[in-house]
Amino acid sequence: MPAKSAGVLAFRTKGRRLEVLLVHPGGPFWRNKDLGAWSIPKGEFGADEEPEQVARREFCEELGIELSVPLVSLGEIRQRGGKVVTAFAADCDVDVDAIRSNTFDIEWPPRSGKRQTFPEVDRAEWFDLPTARSKINEAQRELLDRLETKSNKTKR
């Protein structure tokens, strides 16, 4: 059974331009990676959990911001490793300079016997859709397309 995650693609409109909020994973593995490394805030969940509640929880854990706005389903995508991501869109504005992420501990450097603490998310940024398409995990690009389609339908 593939792992399941749920997350939120936050968006805002600046003038006539749609922008999306993406997060960059923390830790030494991701330190020098950029294109294709960014993601929506998301996290894994079990069979007894509701995807929307998990998406809200993970948004709060990774950004330090509790979401109270309605979420709109963007459906599911499957990432390269097989993980299934259930995504939701949220129309909200987030101050990226004020994020506070949970942390995790790992042995670093490997086999050193030393443990270090890193943030789950080391930064968040707003991107226009063309830039977001180059930054986001390749499998999650479909979520940008779905959001853009929904956004265009509501403009009509």
Is residue 101 within 8 A of residue 119, CB to CB? The reply is yes
**Number of Cβ atoms within 10 Å of the Cβ of 90:** 20
**Cis omega (within 30 of 0) on the bond before 109?**
yes
Does the pLDDT value for residue 156 go beyond 70?
no
| pLDDT-derived band at 2, boundaries 50, 70, 90 | confident
Q: What rounded mean pLDDT belongs to the chain? A: 94
Q: β-strands 121-128, 84-91: how paired?
A: unpaired
pLDDT tens digits for 96-150? Answer: 999 999 999 999 999 999 999 999 999 999 999 999 999 999 999 999 999 999 8
pLDDT the model gives residue 10: 98
Structure tokens, 83? 């993980």
DSSP characters for the chain?
---EEEEEEEEEEETTEEEEEEEEE-STTTTT--TTTBB-SEEE--TTS-HHHHHHHHHHHHHS----S--EEEEEEE-TTS-EEEEEEEE----GGG----EEEEESSTTSS-EEEEESEEEEEEEEHHHHHHHB-GGGHHHHHHHHHHHHHHH-
Is residue 49 within 8 A of residue 56, CB to CB? The reply is no
| pTM recorded for the entire structure | 0.93
